[in-house]
Amino acid sequence: MDEDRIKKAVIGAIDKALDAHDLAEIVRAFARGPRPTLPESPNDAPPTAGAKRLLTRIVLGDILDDTILSARPQDRTFPLRLFFGELSRLLATDAEDGAAADAAFTLASGLNFFFRAPMDGESKMRVGFAVSRQLYVVAHTARLDAELVGRSAPLLAALMTGELERLKFESVDHVKVFDSQIHERAAGSDPTAFSVVRPASFLCRVASNNAVKVKAEVLT
């Protein structure tokens, strides 16, 4: 895949989707470096309405339906609501671990590109697969609760499948033993081990016959 072409497409989609003033607000709100302003004080103004609106868009608050956004603990989609809440928290707070915040922003950007940008089916699948990789980067880097990730991953895979034609994503969090028919070893794996330490991406299948289109990456 032409990475330069993808980068240009991503930049173009962001340019069309975001208001320049709102983008400036959000960058100022979340930049970790020194600001070209007076020293901070307890009376600093809260985030503007534009910054809040942009954060809502970044975490897909304008796309997700009420079955997710308003899910209660007994609802099937509640883990997904918790997951997007964790993603929002990582984006909106001054995390001591900058790597986790950066990973979360990359995931949110990827999800936005996947759900918002028009592209052909093969490109959509490839972008979605890359997004699924980033999901597990965030889970590992931010040390998200393993149970939450394990319960929300299948729901996110199903949500993303709704954007595909003739293909489907599946999570493999429940599979604990390496299976060469559905797994590829991720970088850093022990090539002799068969115990799955953690998943590193979704599995992609052909919807009509369940054939494997792209194997899931796992760490062994």
Tokens of 191: 């090539």
**pLDDT, one tens digit for every residue, the chain (220 residues):** 555 665 566 555 555 554 555 545 544 444 444 444 444 545 455 656 665 666 666 777 767 777 887 889 999 999 999 998 898 888 876 555 688 888 998 999 999 899 988 999 999 999 999 999 999 999 999 999 999 999 999 999 999 999 999 999 999 999 999 999 999 999 999 999 999 999 999 999 999 999 999 999 999 9
Query: Which amino acid does the sequence have at 9?
Result: A
Chain CA centroid to CA 23, Å: 20
Q: Where are the beta strands (DSSP E) in the chain?
A: 167-170, 183-185, 198-199, 203-206, 212-214, 216-219
Q: What is the DSSP letter of 166?
A: S
CA pair distance 91, 89, nearest whole angstrom: 5
pTM flag (> 0.85): no
Q: How far apart are the first and last CA of the chain?
A: 27
E strand or H helix at 155, and its extent? Answer: helix 146-161
Tokens of 196: 């799955």
| Residue among 128, 134, 29, 148 at smallest CA distance from 86 | 148
